[in-house]
């Protein structure tokens, strides 16, 4: 049994760990108990928007807004308000991308739709997507650990709009804003903040689509971005569509200020890269493990996913194989060594360790020998 436990055993892929030193006592409280329409409430929401823009390097002519329903709410708002105007492709390579496929097929029932998918750990041929098509894709597969290599498959002068689910990539991987029309993420992913609120970042091209197009389906109030025939810019200045949690807003602000104090998004990228290297190097050096993503260029630096292999594991029945990662995760949870790092429920049997910037390198180094120990314990039973 290893001698040292992680000081902070939080390895969930969402909600993710708070940053080291986080304390509820450091939250600003002047807006709590106030209306989100009050001057102080709107000012704090606007500050969260402005800090987001600054840290992510969002272009000045893009809109940044706070949306209800976390990343799901923001992404579905983009789909419901913009798709249907021209042919569309929805590309997916893991669980959440497949949700967007189901939305397009079963809910929006898009008439001119192409579905492009791939197995866990793989990326489909994105270069095959027509440049005239609207496209919905997930930058980084939260449940598979597979990310896009680059945006070379998106032409600079493409006619279609791009809707980018970036929730487990943003603040860990640089966004190519010039090729992105609607980008969404949630506070509870890379920043480790409280859940329920999402962000919607719109390019001028996306705004033009919203203003010039009325979809044939009804829009619920939570997706209504227009006031008359124009986009409601107040939404992107802190006047949210419905009532937000100002406590959650303050938690997000605290995380943004922490990231800024480190050096901004590049510091967050560097931390995620260093963390992921620790885990991926260990996987490569451990014969009974395999990264779920075979192509190193497509491996994430956030939720690193890996499966088991080898003589002992391969000798088990499929049911017993599926139980092994669960047993390892449960044992280390029981010992307060590592929480919530079992693979996603719809993914192949696996383990998934979050490596985003709120995780400390030393905690990862301490976790990995415990996984080896827990696996050895299982084999000895």
On whether the 265-380 domain is CATH 3.90.1150.10, my answer is yes
Beta strands in the chain (DSSP E): 63-68, 88-92, 113-117, 134-138, 162-165, 182-186, 197-202, 226-227, 230-231, 289-291, 303-308, 351-354
Percent of the chain whose pLDDT exceeds 70 = 100
pTM of the model: 0.97
DSSP 113-156: EEEEE--TT----GGGS-TTSEEEEESB-TTT-BB-S-STTS-T
Q: Decide if domain 24-261 falls under CATH 2.40.110.20.
A: no
Give the C-alpha separation, 100 to 186, whole Å.
16
Q: pLDDT at position 167, please?
A: 97
Describe the crossing of helices 265-285 and 361-380 by its angle, rounded to 10 degrees: 30
pLDDT band at residue 21 using 50, 70 and 90 as cut-offs:
very high
Can you give the pLDDT at residue 327?
98
User: What is the structure's pLDDT at 381?
Assistant: 87
In a 3-state reduction of DSSP, which class is residue 342?
strand
Q: In the chain, where are the structural domains located?
A: 24-261, 265-380
**In whole angstroms, how far apart are CA 116 and each of 100, 143, 148, 343?**
11, 17, 14, 24
Answer whether residue 95 shows pLDDT above 90: no
**SS3 of 52, please?**
helix
Q: Do domains 24-261 and 265-380 have the same CATH topology?
A: no
Tell me how far apart the alpha carbons of residues 300 and 292 are, in angstroms, rounded to a whole number: 10
């Amino acid at each position: 049994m290893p001698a040292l436990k992680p000081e902070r055993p939080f390895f969930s892929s969402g909600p993710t760990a708070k940053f080291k030193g986080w304390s509820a006592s450091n939250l600003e409280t002047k807006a709590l108990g106030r209306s989100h329409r009050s001057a102080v409430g709107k000012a704090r929401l606007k500050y969260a928007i402005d800090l987001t823009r600054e840290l992510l390097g969002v272009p000045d002519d893009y809109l940044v807004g706070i949306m209800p329903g976390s990343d799901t709410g923001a992404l579905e708002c983009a789909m419901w308000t913009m798709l249907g105007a021209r042919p569309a492709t929805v590309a997916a390579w893991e669980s959440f991308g497949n949700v967007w496929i189901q939305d397009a097929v079963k809910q929006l029932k898009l008439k001119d739709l192409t579905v492009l998918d791939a197995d866990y750990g793989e990326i489909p041929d994105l270069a095959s997507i027509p440049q005239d098509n609207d496209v919905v894709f997930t930058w980084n597969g939260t449940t598979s650990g597979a990310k896009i290599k680059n945006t070379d498959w998106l032409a600079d002068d493409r006619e279609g709009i791009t809707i980018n689910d970036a929730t487990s990539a943003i603040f860990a991987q640089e966004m190519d804003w010039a090729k992105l029309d609607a980008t969404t993420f949630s506070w509870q992913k890379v920043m480790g903040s409280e859940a329920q609120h999402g962000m919607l970042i719109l390019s001028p091209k996306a705004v033009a689509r919203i203003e010039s197009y009325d979809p044939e389906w009804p829009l619920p109030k939570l997706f209504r971005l227009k006031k008359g025939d124009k986009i409601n810019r107040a939404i992107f200045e802190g006047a949210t569509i419905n009532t937000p949690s100002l406590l959650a807003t303050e938690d997000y602000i605290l995380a943004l200020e922490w990231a800024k104090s480190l050096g901004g998004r590049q510091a967050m990228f560097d931390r995620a890269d260093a963390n992921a290297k620790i885990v991926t190097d260990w996987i490569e050096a451990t014969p009974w493990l395999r990264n779920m993503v075979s192509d190193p260029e497509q491996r994430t630096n956030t939720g690193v996913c890996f499966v088991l292999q080898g003589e002992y594991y391969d000798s088990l029945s499929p049911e017993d194989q599926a139980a092994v990662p669960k047993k390892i995760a449960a044992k280390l949870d029981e010992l307060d060594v590592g929480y919530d790092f079992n693979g996603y429920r719809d993914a192949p049997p696996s383990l998934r360790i979050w490596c985003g910037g709120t995780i400390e390198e030393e905690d990862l180094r301490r976790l990995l020998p415990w996984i080896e120990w827990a696996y050895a314990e299982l084999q000895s039973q």
